[in-house]
Structure 1
Amino acid sequence: MIFSLDKIITGHAGAIYDTIVDDSGFLFTTSADKFIARWNLEKGEQEAFAIKLDHPAYSLALINEDKHLLIGSSRGNVHVIDLEQKQEIKNLAQHKTGVFSLCYNAKKSEFYATDAEGYFSVWSAEDFSLKLILPLNCGKIRSMTLADEGELLILSCQDGTTRILECNFYNEIVTLKSHRMGANVALVKDEVLYTGGKDAYIRLWDWKSEKLIKEVPAHNYAVYDLIDMGDTLVSASFDKTIKVWEPGTLEILQRIDAKSKGHTHTVNSLSKISSTEFISAGDDRKIKLWIKS
């Protein structure tokens, strides 16, 4: 089993920072060119939808059954876009530095934002009111992911910790010293936690007992993203490569680089489309669609 390149989509004039796919199969991207774009993946074309900001945006999230798009800007604003009306309905200005991660919790009807200074905020997805903001004093919080059906939230922090919060009172219940140079990404699969960091390692944890199960030097440089494809995991890195892994054993199954039709620059973002397809994007301004073959 390997992933093969299905198509290349171009259109951005700057590095692509984040990607997200909606339930209809449309892709949203944000770029250093200050545009947020929507793409028809089947046709490999840009839709007649684009948002131009005054500053680049680092993060995206879809909420409320894909009715609203959240955009986290480099200046700290969270823009709320009504996708049916195709207009901004809220500009949330609580954060003062770049919003690096956004996460929607449908079970709680809330969404979360994190920034470059280590602030974590909780917002109502119904009226967009601020419910809570916490200074976690952990440096930049680069990513968030939900676990335990929305009861837990996992934060990947610049100080090298992976922090697990419960989603009722947002108390920190587990703190793992996961990556010496900074934690970048995490996901939970089959009751175990996978983390990727600036130290280029992927680590597998029994997070409940806070014990390290396995670690591999996954890339030459920082691991920037990690997605669960069901029977495999896929990682992306600053080293310009994408790698496919066997869950549990962390045995490498496939390496995708420029010579194998991969990216020529840093790979910033991965997005799962289905169990057989995913998107990659990065500093080479290209969107690549990969399909299992």
Structure 2
Amino acid sequence: MTERRLKNINSISGHSGAIYDVIYNQSFLYTSSADRYVVKWDAKTGEQTNFAVKLEESAYNIAFSETFNILAVGTNNGGIHVIDTEKRAEVRLLKQHKSAIFALTNNPLKNHFYSGDKDGMLCVWNAQNFELLITLPFNCGKIREISIDEKGDHMVICGQDGYIRILETSFFNVIHEFKAHNDGVNCALFDEEVLFTGGKDAYIHKWNWKKEAKLASVPAHNYAIYDLEFINNKENLVSVSFDKSIKLWNKADVSIIERIEFKNKGHRHTVNRLAKINENKIATISDDRLLKIWELTD
């Protein structure tokens, strides 16, 4: 059987600075940029909608609660802007963090937002009223990503110290903590009892996180891996990197299927994040100011 490949079907411009984050929700993509704008795009046409937010600082991370139509935007000064997308108005400005926000995640199954900053501080927020539920200092350096499992019962904190910390999301106790990468951990992705992690060391590791056992280790990129996502009903794994490339993997054995670079319609600069649109489509964003849409083809 021929393995499927990723084809670029749209390349969208509009930001005037590097794009730092991208999320997908109900036919729309939201992006945050060094140009201080958060912009909403039609994922099918690539057209910019009439929703855009201008901030006084660069927006590093964004997260969306579909339940409450709330967009949370984390900035480089530690503020979190809470925006009602129906009213198109900022309803709160949260100032609990004292350093830049590098991780922001919505857990729709618990109605939580999780935020992590440059100093290793984790905050848990009620997604409905943004009451601060708990603050946990991990002193792990920069928290680069907070990922949740399929049931919303666990979260993993990716720390600059190379450790991953897995918490349950009822009382926020750390139930597993182990060294995952020689340098910082930048991203993680749950697959039931399996966890994939991507590091500053350019490796993808595959773990049984409940046993804290490494199942596979792959030198995946030339430089730091910034994001991981499943596609094709979890048959494939996609990674993006500081080395400017996008890679498509066979998930089962973490074997490479395809490497996409600038010469084959990839990005010109660092690829910062990716978002899953559906089982056959993803979006990637880059320091080259472009948002690109990719589709799996036979």
Amino acid at match of 2:83: I
Show the 5 A alignment for 1:81-230.
81-229=83-231, 230=234
Alpha carbons 2:64, 2:106 under 8 Å: kept: yes
Partner of 2:119, secondary structure, is: coil
The 1-side partners of 2:14 and 2:179 are apart by 40
Give % identity.
45
Partner of 1:259, secondary structure, is: helix
Alpha carbons 1:68, 1:82 under 8 Å: kept: yes
Deviation at 1:190, TM superposition (A): 4.5
**TM-score normalized with structure 2 length:** 0.96
Alpha carbons 2:271, 2:284 under 8 Å: kept: yes
The 1-side partners of 2:167 and 2:113 are apart by 14
Q: Please, which runs of 5 or more residues in structure 1 have no aligned partner?
A: none
Partner of 2:236: 232
Aligned mate of 1:3, from 1, 6, 10: 6
Alpha carbons 2:149, 2:192 under 8 Å: kept: no
Partner of 2:57, secondary structure, is: coil
Alpha carbons 1:30, 1:37 under 8 Å: kept: yes
Deviation at 1:255, TM superposition (A): 0.5
Deviation at 1:131, TM superposition (A): 1.1
Deviation at 1:25, TM superposition (A): 1.1
Partner of 1:284, secondary structure, is: coil
Amino acid at match of 1:248: A
After TM superposition, which residue ranges in structure 1, 4 or more long, deviate above 6 angstroms? none
The 1-side partners of 2:128 and 2:42 are apart by 28
Deviations for 1:160-201, whole angstroms, at most 9, x for unmatched residues?
011101111111111120111100000112421100000000
Q: Please, which runs of 5 or more residues in structure 2 have no aligned partner?
A: none
Deviations for 1:69-118, whole angstroms, at most 9, x for unmatched residues?
00001111111100010010011110011111111122222111100000
Partner of 1:263: 267
Moved more, 233-242 or 59-68: 59-68
Partner of 1:3, secondary structure, is: strand
Partner of 1:196, secondary structure, is: strand
Partner of 2:263, secondary structure, is: helix
Alpha carbons 1:64, 1:125 under 8 Å: kept: no
Aligned length: 292
The 1-side partners of 2:249 and 2:33 are apart by 28
Partner of 1:138, secondary structure, is: coil
Alpha carbons 1:189, 1:228 under 8 Å: kept: no
**TM-score normalized with structure 1 length:** 0.98
The 1-side partners of 2:68 and 2:18 are apart by 25
- CA RMSD, 1 decimal: 1.0
